[in-house]
């Protein structure tokens, strides 16, 4: 009998988890169990300050297919997922959000493709839910930029709703970077991929943890963990600016030799100083981002800490 693990990270989802558990319960009874799959639901409580932990204990008592892990504090979704990946033992693992934005009805279709031999069956959003026009445009522009800077394929409308074969899970377990960007990692590992369209629902209860500030920081994380192209950009900027500066130098020298120099030129001087200062700060900032990553990774701290595990 083939086994499936449905893996979901949960942060402040006390009000959504009972509904998710009920939906998965009916999915198992009506679709998955009759086809001969044994299914487990693994929930990683990412240090929620609300009563998610108590709700999980209750649910695990009620539904025998539920396992859960409590992390010692909030480590962020990316690391919570790694905690789940380390503990998921199904032949295939289905990753989804616990706020009911990812429709459970898509799972049987993913499983079907997996049976056909695909290793990474990802959900691809048909719509983007109730998202502001600006956020939608910014995120598309961002994926465009990320794609240009790397040879791995970055898919724009793909989130963390996907089925991964055991092979992929084994590989992901070996990638121990603490500052994780799963979307980049899923692309990096390769394997045979297949998209399944789904429509994003509205978040059932509560609100998204990803505000603009957190999204921006995740975007920087995404770039600095996927590509070193910004360093190359800084190099090119240096080369081009130096070249222009050299031409200008020749121009100024020639002018002075031929016509003399009655001083003046305060505006030009100021512009040049400010522009070069800006370029230098930008380049230092870019280098700093990568040094910060090196700093974080060399400490070799574990990416997450488990408080307790309830796995049957």
What is the rounded distance in angstroms from the CA atom of residue 82 to the CA atom of residue 88?
Answer: 10
Q: Does 46 bind Mg ion (CB under 5 A)?
A: no
Choose between 40 and 77: whose C-beta lies nearer to ligand UDP: 77
User: By CB under 6 A, which span of 2-10, 171-179, 241-249, 303-311 interacts with ligand UDP?
Assistant: 2-10
- Quick one: which of 25, 99, 119, 120 contacts ligand UDP (CB under 6 A)? 99
Q: Does 221 bind ligand UDP (CB under 6 A)?
A: no
Of 44, 99, 49, 52, the C-alpha closest to 71 is 44
- Quick one: which of 13, 67, 119, 120 contacts ligand UDP (CB under 6 A)? 13
- Quick one: which of 13, 46, 67, 99 contacts Mg ion (CB under 5 A)? 99
Q: Does 210 bind ligand UDP (CB under 6 A)?
A: yes
Choose between 80 and 286: whose C-beta lies nearer to ligand UDP: 80
Total binding residues toward ligand UDP, as defined by CB under 6 A: 18
Of 306, 298, 152, 308, the C-alpha closest to 222 is 152
Which residues ranging from 41 to 60 are in contact with ligand UDP (CB under 6 A)? Answer: 46
What is the rounded distance in angstroms from the CA atom of residue 205 to the CA atom of residue 176?
Answer: 33
Q: From the DSSP assignment, how many helices (H) and strands (E) are in the chain?
A: 10, 8
DSSP conformational letter for 160: E
User: By CB under 6 A, which span of 5-13, 53-61, 140-148, 237-245 interacts with ligand UDP?
Assistant: 5-13
Minimal distance in Å, beta carbon 215 to ligand UDP?
Answer: 8
Burial 232-245 (b: 16+ CB within 10 A, else e): eebeeeeeeeeeee
What is the rounded distance in angstroms from the CA atom of residue 169 to the CA atom of residue 175?
Answer: 10
Residues paired with residue 163 on neighbouring β-strands, in sequence order = 94, 121
Of 270, 267, 269, 251, the C-alpha closest to 259 is 251
Q: Does 111 bind ligand UDP (CB under 6 A)?
A: no
Q: Does 9 bind ligand UDP (CB under 6 A)?
A: yes
> Which two three-digit tokens encode residue 74?
């909030």
Find the length of the chain: 312
Place of tokens 């390769």: 190
- Quick one: which of 5, 7, 11, 286 contacts ligand UDP (CB under 6 A)? 11
Residue, CB closest to Mg ion:
99
Which one of ligand UDP, Mg ion, none interacts with residue 227, CB within 5 to 8 A by kind?
none
Choose between 139 and 152: whose C-beta lies nearer to ligand UDP: 139
Residues paired with residue 125 on neighbouring β-strands, in sequence order = 198
User: By CB under 5 A, which span of 89-97, 160-168, 262-270, 283-291 interacts with Mg ion?
Assistant: 89-97
What is the rounded distance in angstroms from the CA atom of residue 246 to the CA atom of residue 261?
Answer: 19
Strands 306-310 and 92-95: unpaired
Choose between 43 and 187: whose C-beta lies nearer to ligand UDP: 43
**Footprint on this chain of ligand UDP (rule: CB under 6 A):** 8-11, 13, 46, 74, 76-77, 80, 97-99, 101, 203, 208-210
């Amino acid at each position: 009998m083939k086994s499936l693990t449905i893996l979901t990270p949960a942060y402040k989802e006390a009000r959504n988890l009972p509904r998710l558990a009920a939906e998965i319960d009916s999915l198992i009874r009506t679709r998955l169990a009759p086809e001969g799959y044994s299914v487990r639901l693994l929930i990683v409580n990412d240090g929620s300050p609300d009563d998610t932990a108590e709700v999980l204990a209750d649910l695990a008592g009620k539904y025998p297919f539920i396992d859960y892990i409590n992390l010692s504090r909030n480590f962020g979704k990316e690391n919570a997922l790694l905690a789940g990946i380390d503990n998921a033992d199904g032949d295939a693992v289905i990753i989804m959000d616990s706020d009911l934005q990812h429709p459970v009805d898509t799972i049987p279709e993913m499983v079907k493709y997996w049976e056909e031999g695909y290793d990474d069956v990802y959900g691809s959003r048909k719509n983007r839910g109730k998202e502001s026009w600006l956020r939608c445009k910014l995120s598309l522009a961002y994926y465009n930029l990320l794609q240009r800077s790397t040879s791995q394929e970055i898919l724009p409308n793909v989130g963390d709703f996907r089925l991964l074969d055991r092979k992929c899970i084994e590989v992901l377990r070996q990638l121990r970077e603490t500052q994780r960007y799963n979307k980049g990692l899923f692309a990096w590992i390769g394997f045979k991929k297949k998209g399944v369209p789904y429509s994003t629902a509205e978040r059932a209860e509560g609100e998204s943890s990803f505000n603009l500030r957190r999204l921006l920081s995740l975007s920087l994380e995404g770039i600095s963990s996927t590509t070193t192209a910004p360093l190359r950009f800084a190099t090119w900027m240096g080369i081009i600016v130096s070249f222009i500066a050299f031409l200008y130098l020749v121009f100024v020298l020639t002018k002075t030799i031929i016509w003399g120099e009655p001083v003046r030129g305060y505006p030009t001087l100021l512009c040049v100083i400010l522009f070069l200062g800006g370029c230098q700060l930008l380049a230092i900032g870019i280098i700093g981002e990568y040094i910060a990553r090196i700093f974080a990774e060399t400490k070799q701290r574990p990416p997450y800490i488990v408080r307790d595990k309830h796995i049957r």
